[in-house]
């Protein structure tokens, strides 16, 4: 028998994300707020040219800007 998340077409990472959010929502308010803070992550990147680091940018912001540029 295949895993339920595979049968529904989810990746394992998406399955874990959905399961974690369901668990966080089921907690009481004080515990839920603490768990939600731990669940937030931010990924940053910087381009390097000629051995020098460029500006740090948020990946989510860079993706949104690229999507907006591509759609126009």
How confident is the prediction along the chain (72 residues), in pLDDT tens digits per residue?
A: 468 878 888 889 889 888 888 888 898 988 888 887 777 777 888 989 999 999 988 888 888 888 888 887
Q: What share of the chain is helix, strand, coil (3-state, %, to 5)?
A: 60, 20, 20
Copy the structure tokens of residue 22.
């369901």
Q: What is the pTM of this model?
A: 0.47
């Amino acid at each position: 028998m295949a895993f339920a998340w595979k049968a529904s077409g989810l990746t394992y990472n998406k399955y874990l994300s959905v399961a974690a959010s369901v668990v966080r929502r089921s907690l009481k308010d004080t515990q839920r707020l603490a768990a939600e803070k731990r669940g937030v992550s931010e990924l940053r990147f910087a381009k390097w040219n000629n051995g020098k680091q460029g500006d740090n940018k948020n990946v989510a912001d860079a993706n949104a800007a690229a999507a907006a540029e591509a759609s126009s």
